[in-house]
A and B are shown apart, each in its own frame.
Chain A
Amino acid sequence: EAQVTQNPRYLITVTGKKLTVTCSQNMNHEYMSWYRQDPGLGLRQIYYSMNVEVTDKGDVPEGYKVSRKEKRNFPLILESPSPNQTSLYFCASSSGSAGGSQNIQYFGAGTRLSVL
């Protein structure tokens, strides 16, 4: 089954304690993205990756890091989490390239993060 898998689904942590949210896709997609979703603000892109070792900032990258060492994995790293990073996070993948159906985003189930 084609899917994007995020772990963990729920996470409660304290300010300053480094954490990693994993994301893996089995569709051989080139593009992967991380979004955060906050009430009234919609999905905002944090970082995206166009292929292995190629990443770029999205709209709200501050306080986050990513890496793309393998095509299927795109972990999100919070080096020193703060309470304003409490949010619902989604990983997504797509097959990329210009136009057409390739730009459809496939989302994971989400990770609900609380930073105390």
Chain B
Amino acid sequence: SQKIEQNSEALNIQEGKTATLTCNYTNYSPAYLQWYRQDPGRGPVFLLLIRENEKEKRKERLKVTFDTTLKQSLFHITASQPADSATYLCALDISGGYNKLIFGAGTRLAVHP
């Protein structure tokens, strides 16, 4: 069965540093992968989508990489700020782009002043 793993331990970093979160998956070749942000008591909010033929995607301070050989995506936040503190979820397409996603359990990021 498909499996998607994110580091379950919280990531604590200092303000201004780059945060790097990892998403690993097995047993599938996804057409795309998504990253979401979730704040306590709120629903996830979409951040970035990267397709299987894309190595890297950027949006402001966010960068996502996608290595289909390693079956891994890395999510980077540069110049991190306390407001970036949240849980970050990765989601994998397992239906060739037809809206069937599986989600990782998320990694909690805490950025300290």
Interface on A for B, CB 8 Å cutoff?
Answer: 4, 31, 33, 35, 40-45, 48, 50, 59, 90, 92, 94, 96-101, 103-110
Chain A residues positioned under 8 Å from B99 (CB to CB): 31, 33, 48, 50, 94, 96, 103
Q: How far, in Å, is B75 (CB) from chain A's closest CB? A: 15
**Which of B47-87 touch A at CB < 8 Å?**
49, 51
Residues A90 and B43 in contact in the complex (CB < 8 Å), given A50-B99, A98-B98, A103-B93: yes
Q: By the criterion CB–CB under 8 Å, are B42 and A98 in contact?
A: no
Interface centre among A43, A90, A98, by most B CB within 10 Å? A43
For the complex, give the distance between the alpha carbons of A35 and B97 in Å.
18
Chain A residues positioned under 8 Å from B102 (CB to CB): 42, 45, 59
A40 contact from B41, B42, B105, Cβ within 8 A: B105
18 contacts between A and B (CB under 8 A): A4-B43, A31-B99, A33-B99, A42-B105, A45-B102, A48-B99, A59-B102, A94-B99, A99-B97, A100-B97, A103-B32, A103-B34, A103-B93, A103-B97, A103-B101, A104-B46, A105-B101, A110-B42
Chain A residues positioned under 8 Å from B91 (CB to CB): 43, 105
Q: How many residues of B contact A (CB 8 A)?
A: 28
For the complex, give the distance between the alpha carbons of A97 and B93 in Å.
13
Interface centre among B43, B98, B101, B106, by most A CB within 10 Å? B43
For the complex, give the distance between the alpha carbons of A41 and B102 in Å.
11
Chain B residues positioned under 8 Å from A42 (CB to CB): 4, 89, 102-106
Chain A residues positioned under 8 Å from B45 (CB to CB): 107
Q: By the criterion CB–CB under 8 Å, are A110 and B89 in contact?
A: no
Chain B residues positioned under 8 Å from A92 (CB to CB): 43
